[in-house]
Each structure stands twice: as structure tokens, then as C-alpha cells.
Structure 1
Amino acid sequence: MDIFDAIHRRRAVRRYLPRPVAREDIYRILDAANWAPSAMNLQQWEFLVVTGKKIREMGESFHAIVGGYAREGASPPGGEEFLRFARTYGGAPAVIVVLTDAADAPNMQRANLESASAAMENLLLAATALGLGTCWMTGPLQDERSLRTILDIPAEKEIVAVTPLGYPDEAPPPRPRHDPDLGRKVRWVE
């Protein structure tokens, strides 16, 4: 699959088959992430590959966040199905957490976040090219303290994003693009 196909086929997958992903495929995906551009070529990202009972612990934390919407009088986005997704990360056999170095200086904090986000995008596209599903998630970070405890993440690391990783048990349709012809989003400056 070429890069343009992977970009157009990538979807937020929220249901996964219980089939494990080969460790070699996970390393291949993370190698693609590791080749992302980074500010000053620091390559300061780190990847946690979470499996087994730790996913269940993460799911309890995320489920509590999503369930909190209902307690506050709002229905969770996606309703009961989203609550099930939150509890199990859609049944994915692996969850990848992308970390970066924490920084006090705002310019370095931004550079680290942008660099690790580029690595995350490479990860998503590489997974798509291998026929795997992902879902870029920041919602679980609403209970960052629990995530740090569950995964033993030190204070000198910042959590950037989380994604389940597995074989999709659904084929979400493409979401419409805002301004698909780029008439309002592109401005040429000479």
C-alpha cells in the first residue's frame, strides 16, 4: 500500500478482533514511528506497548472518565457502545502509549509534543499499511494520574497520546472532510 492509500484508509477503529499482533509487526510499526521528523533531531519519544491485565486497568480508568459524562447529565459520546470501548479499548490485544520528554520551557514543550505527534502519525499510517487498526486517543489522559500509576510513567515524561492496536472488527466509513477541495484551507502567499 502506498502512503496516499494508507492516509485515505486510516480510520479510528473502536472494535478489534481478539487475534494477537505479531511482535515483529509491532516493532515494524514502531520503527516507522521512530523515523518521524523531530525538532533538532532529538527523537525524544518513547513507546510503551501495553498488553494483558494492564489494558484492563487502563480500561477501568478510561471507563470511569466516560461514565463521568453520564453522571454529569450528559450522555457519553457514542452512548453505551463507547462505554464498552472505553472499558476494554475495543478488545485490542495491544495499546501503545506515546511519551515524550517533559520540558519547562514552553518552546521545548511544544517542540517535544509536535515531534512525538509526528511519530504517532507515522505509527497510525504504518499500522494501516499492515492491515491493522488504531484510534488516536487523548481522552484517557483526563485521568493522567491513574495512567502514570498503572504504567509506572515517571514525572520527567509527558504522555502525548494512546492508541489501541489490533486487527479491526469493523470497517468505519470515511468521515467527510471539511473543505474537501481545499478552497478555504489553502492560501498561496507570494
Structure 2
Amino acid sequence: MDVFEAIHRRRAVRRYSPDRVGREDIHTILDAANWAPSAMNRQQWEFLVVTGTKIREMGASYRAIIEEYTKNWDPSPLRGSLSREEFIRFAGSYGGAPAVIVVLTDASDNPDLYKANLESASAAMENLLLAATALGLGTCWMTGPLRDEKALREILTIPDDREIVAVTPLGYPEGTPNDQPRLDQGMERKIRWVE
């Protein structure tokens, strides 16, 4: 699959088969993430591959967040066809994915370095998502679990000198998620030519 096909096929997957993803495939995906561009070529990201009971612990934290967050649920078309109950179920088990990857970066008090670290680790996250898609695996870029960052840090023993950037389940999709419409499909409002 070429890069353009991977870009157009990537979807936020919220239901996964329980089939285990091989370590070789995970390593291939993380190698692609590791080749992302980074500010000053610092390559300061780190990847936690979470499996087993730790996913359940993470899910308990995320489920509590989503139960509170969705009390006034607005079934926006941008959320796809997920009902509140399905979203809560997804949160409690990360969609049943056999693995969850947490992307970390260096923490910094310097605003410029802080921003550069987040941007660099976000580029690594995008490479991760596209590599997984190319291998027929599903992902879902998530920042919602960070609403209870303290719990995530405790569950995964993440030290204070690391910033949590994003989380993604990783596994074989159960079904194919619907295409979500692109806002401004023709990009009339998103592109501005400057001469």
C-alpha cells in the first residue's frame, strides 16, 4: 500500500478483534514512528506498548472520564454512528484492542522546547497510525485518556520528566469504520496562496 492509500484508508477504529498483534508487526510500526521528523533531530519520543491487565486498568480510568464527559451527549455526525453507550464501552476496554501504545516525549519548562517536543512526537504518532494502516491494523488517536493523567502516570509508572502526548489502541479492526466527511472537502477555505 502506498502512502497516499494509507492516508486515505486510515480511520479511527473503535472495535477490535481480540487477535494478538505480533511483536514483529509492532516493531515495524514503531520503527516507522521512529523515522518521523523531529525538531533539531532530537528524536526524543518514547513508546510504551501496553498489553494485558494494564489495558483494563487504563480502561477503568478512561470509562469514568467518558461517563462524565458524555452526560449531555450530542450525537454529532463527526463522531460517526457511535452511541453514548458504545462510546462508554469503547472507553472501558479501548475497543477490545490487544495492545495500546502510549507516545511520550521529554517534558520541558521552556515553552519553545515544549512545543517542539509535542510537534515532533505528534509526527511520530502520525507515522505510527499510517504504518499500522498499511499493515491492515486499526488505531485511534486519543487524547481523552489524558483527562486523568495522574491515573495514567500511576498505572504505567510514567515519571514527571516525560510528557504524555497521545494514546492509541492497536489491533485488527472488527469491521470497517465508515468514512467521515472531510470539512471543506475542496479545501477552498483551507488553502491560501501567498505570493
TM over 0.5, yes or no? Answer: yes
- Report the counterpart of residue 104 of structure 1 in structure 2: 109
The Cα shift of 1:173 comes to 1.4
- Per-residue deviation, 1:90: 0.2
Counterpart of 2:50 in structure 1 is 50
Does structure 2 retain, via aligned residues, the 8 Å contact 1:76–1:82? no
CA RMSD in angstroms, aligned pairs only: 1.1
Distance 1:180 1:75, change over 3 A: closer
SS in 1 for 2:25: helix
User: Secondary structure at 1:103's aligned position in 2?
Assistant: coil
* 72, 75, 94: which one aligns with 1:74: 72
TM superposition score normalised by structure 2: 0.94
The 5 A counterparts of 1:168-179 are: 168-179=173-184
CA distance in 2, matches of 1:105, 1:175: 37
Other-structure match for 2:191: 186
Q: Note the residue ranges of structure 1 that are not aligned, 5 or more in a row.
A: none
1:136 matched to 2:141: yes
Paired AA for residue 101 in structure 1:
D
TM-score (norm 1): 0.97
Q: Deviations over 1:84-124 (max 9, x none)?
A: 10000000000000000000011100000000000000000
Gaps of 5+ in 2: 76-82
Question: Following the alignment from structure 2 to structure 1, what is the Cα–Cα distance between the partners of residues 152 and 10?
Answer: 26
Q: What's the secondary structure of 1:127's corresponding residue?
A: helix
- Compute the displacement of 1:187 (Å): 0.9
Question: Does 2:122 correspond to 1:124?
Answer: no
Detail structure 1 runs of 4+ shifted over 6 Å in the superposition: none
Give the whole-Å Cα distance in 1 for the aligned partners of 2:22 and 2:69.
Answer: 36
CA deviation after TM superposition for structure 1 residue 158, in Å: 0.2
1:157 corresponds to which letter in structure 2?
R
What residue identity is the alignment partner of 2:47? F
Percentage of pairs with the same residue: 72
Q: 2:69, 2:167 → 1: CA distance?
A: 20
Alignment length, in residue pairs? Answer: 188
